[in-house]
Amino acid sequence: MEQRDAYQLLQWYQQMGINLAVAQEPLDRRGQVMVKPPVKSVVTSVISTDLRREVASCQTLAELRQLMMNFDGCDLKKGATQLVFSDGNPQSSLMLIGEAPGAEEDKQGRPFVGLSGQLLDRMLATIGLDRRSLYITNILPWRPPGNRQPTASEIALCLPFIEKHIALVAPRLLLFLGGVAAKTLLQTSEGIVRLRGHWQDYSNPYTAQVIPALATFHPAYLLRSPGQKALVWQDLLQVQAAAKRQLLTPDDR
């Protein structure tokens, strides 16, 4: 192979999120007999029962982080550089939740530090918020290869982590960034266009706490569709007003 071709191939690997060799030599799998995988739902539910028990025993964010670092049950971990746990102030009353780390987050180990994170920071600054005054994390703690959409089973597998994460931070307000976070945590198939802009009750399975939650568009979507920024701006003003009052009354919804 020419050096130029090899370089292009490497660049393609990098874009697709392939940064791990699973064997020394390539293996031609064409013509191999496929072994039928076990029924997925059974595997997933067995893993989640065990995982839920371990996750439930975590008393602190440090314990949860350690448990997640030791967890090998999610294949996304194999392709990721590192766990992306959170950023910001865990004492904050406002917790933001996105989808999954991208390339820059995977490199730095912090959520929302790439282009969409920079846009998010600029928008949050307009309502007087920064990483010292909010706490931020994702539904998934490992980067999906090539920034592809996380699958339903990856989300289901990692759900106990984010649920316990919310329980330990115990924020007074939640802001879901994008459809994946909103749909997962509000347990709905409703799309983000309908979900955004309305306060809803989020119920956490680890605590008795019900937290007011607002969904808005993901900043990566705003990079592609800047015309939608006005709607996110309206959502952020709602967050600002609610954060000032801390506790929402039913009239605010």
Measured from the CB of residue 116, what is the shortest distance to ligand URA in angstroms? Answer: 5
**Which is closer to ligand URA, CB of 117 or CB of 171?**
117
Amino acid present at 205: P
Closest approach of ligand URA to the CB of residue 47, in Å = 24
CB 187 within 8 A of CB 225: no
Q: Toward ligand URA, which CB reaches closer, 98 or 160?
A: 98
Instruction: Provide the binding-site residues for ligand URA, judged by CB under 6 A.
Output: 98-102, 105, 111-112, 114, 116-117, 138, 220
Structural Rg of the chain based on CA atoms: 20
Q: Least Å distance between CB 98 and ligand URA?
A: 3
Residue closest to ligand URA (Cβ) = 98
Evaluate the CA torsion angle 36, 147, 28, 30 in order and state its sign: positive
How far apart are the C-alpha atoms of 71 and 39, rounded to whole Å? Answer: 22
Which residue's CB is nearer to ligand URA, number 55 or number 97?
97
Least Å from the CB of residue 88 to ligand URA:
12
Q: Hey, which bits of 108-149 come out as E strands?
A: 135-138
Return the DSSP state at 126.
Answer: T
| C-beta separation of 233 from 217 below 8 A | no
Cβ distance to ligand URA smaller for residue 37 or 94: 94
Closest listed residue to residue 233, CA positions, set 249, 222, 244, 243:
222
Residue placing its CB nearer to ligand URA in the complex, 53 or 122: 122
CB of 36 to ligand URA, least distance (A): 34
